[in-house]
Amino acid sequence: MPKEFSMTWFDGLLKKAGISYSIICLVIGVIIYFIYLFFGKMLDIEWYTDDKLKFILMGTLIAYQFFGIQYLLDISKEVFLNLCILSNEVEESLCSEAKRRFSGSLWYYVLLVMVIFPFYSADWISSDYTLKENYTLMEQFVPNYAEDPRFWVLGFDIYHVSMGFLALFLLAYILWIIFNIAWTFRTFSLNFHSNPLTTSAFSIHMKLRSIKILILLSLFCYFICISLLILSYGLTGYIFEKITLASLLLVGLIFFFIGYESLNGIVRRQMEFEMDQINKKSQEYIQKLLAINSNGDYSQKIQETNFVSNMLDVLQKQRDSLTKAYTNIYDLASIISIISAFILPILTDIVKKNLHLLFESRDIADQGISILNSIIHNII
């Protein structure tokens, strides 16, 4: 599989600038923040510290999502490369199937609706929307313009809503990549018999170690994204939105178990494959042993019998070693890693709910924001 293998239209888009895409994403986050400050100047608004923090978090979230998409696409290609190393016969079919799913599947649009719609529907079924008389969609999407119909106010509302929609859109894109990586693992595992591995069962754990690391790196990237989403939006009182965000956490766990169970299936099937090969070879030597008759040269018959017996002993030792081989792909490090990644968004939600304590000390918060603004201005 060539390293230039392209998964989607986005793949490599940030790399074409010739600059590290982490730096490009950082610049994107800074630009998003300064556009908020620009609207404040145009509207003669002095943003409060908590407003500035929200703008910083929004810029950080979107910048990280762009970074995460490119990073996960790079990881997905690494996964395919490692799977191709495991089986030489899988390369062409794996590439074509992955590209078809990424670029031509209708499931992407279904996933897009499933991610974005609940966040808006949670607002529509809230008490603010259902109990107020004559509460319009304009008040929902452009609340400031509904109260103060000026050009720059409308521009601010549109920009703020657009940033929220972009964050959800990029989240759906990240989920789509995660979904396809898991799908590829599952497909490779189920199609094992048509794609025999090029490695033995005794060395397969070393071959799969890099894939296990890629799964965990994908999960950390995904859960950090969810944590930033919680910091930007928070877990509101709407039960529908809580269920949605809880579902996003569950998706990460499902991805972990699909990936690891697929690797478990690969290990088991490889051992079954090698055990079957040993049994076939043993049966061949047993047939040869039974075919030896007592007529003719006894010394030659004894040599042939001893050779066949020795080969059967070797095959039996291989069978015993294979039976005792370690088949479980889970390990303590992986379990600790997935637990750490999973609780990160939960801890983030706890921190989010206690941020008000920070703003009670207005001087400390203002100084922190001022220092951050000074650093950004010096960089630019």
- Residues ≥6 apart with Cβ < 8 Å to 316: 282
372, HSE (Cβ side, Cα atoms, 13 Å): 15
pLDDT digits (tens, 9 = 90+) for 236-290: 555 666 777 788 888 889 998 988 888 888 888 778 888 888 888 888 888 877 7
- Residues ≥6 apart with Cβ < 8 Å to 23: none
Is residue 312, in this structure, part of any structural domain at all?
no
pLDDT digits (tens, 9 = 90+) for 121-132: 766 665 555 545
Higher pLDDT, 375 or 38: 38
> Is it the case that residue 134 has pLDDT exceeding 60?
no
**Residue 198 pLDDT grade (very low, low, confident, very high; cuts 50, 70, 90):** low
Q: Find the range with the poorest average confidence among 160-169, 274-283, 347-356.
A: 347-356
Is residue 324, in this structure, part of any structural domain at all?
no
> Is it the case that residue 1 has pLDDT exceeding 50?
no
Is residue 283, in this structure, part of any structural domain at all?
no
Unique residue bearing structure tokens 């637990």: 339
Q: What's the pLDDT score for residue 295? A: 65
77-94: average pLDDT: 69
Q: What is the mean pLDDT of the chain?
A: 77
Contact 264, 191 (CB under 8 A): no
Give the Cα separation of 5 and 12 in Å (integer).
10
Is residue 289, in this structure, part of any structural domain at all?
no
Contact 100, 184 (CB under 8 A): no
**Residue 354 pLDDT grade (very low, low, confident, very high; cuts 50, 70, 90):** low
Is residue 317, in this structure, part of any structural domain at all?
no
> Is it the case that residue 62 has pLDDT exceeding 90?
yes
Contact 231, 245 (CB under 8 A): no
Question: Looking at this protein, which amino acid is placed at residue 5?
Answer: F
Q: Find the range with the poorest average confidence among 44-48, 153-157, 200-204.
A: 200-204
Q: What is the DSSP string of 309-374?
A: HHHHHHHHHHHHHHHHS------HHHHHHHHHHHHHHHHHHHHHHTTHHHHHSHHHHHHHHHHHHH
> Is it the case that residue 171 has pLDDT exceeding 60?
yes
Contact 267, 205 (CB under 8 A): yes
Is residue 306, in this structure, part of any structural domain at all?
no
Is residue 319, in this structure, part of any structural domain at all?
no
Q: What's the pLDDT score for residue 127? A: 53
Q: What's the pLDDT score for residue 372? A: 54
Give the Cα separation of 369 and 380 in Å (integer).
17
| Distances from the Cα of 4 to the Cα of 78, 209, 243, 267, 364, angstroms | 12, 24, 39, 29, 49
Which domain range does residue 64 map to?
14-270+336-379
Higher pLDDT, 192 or 306: 306
Backbone angles phi, psi at 306, to 5 degrees: -60, -40
Q: What's the pLDDT score for residue 124? A: 63
305-317: average pLDDT: 83
Q: Find the range with the poorest average confidence among 34-43, 140-149, 183-192, 193-202.
A: 193-202
Unique residue bearing structure tokens 């939105």: 241
Give the orientation angle of helix 107-124 with respect to helix 151-190, to 10 degrees.
140
Number of domains composing the chain: 1
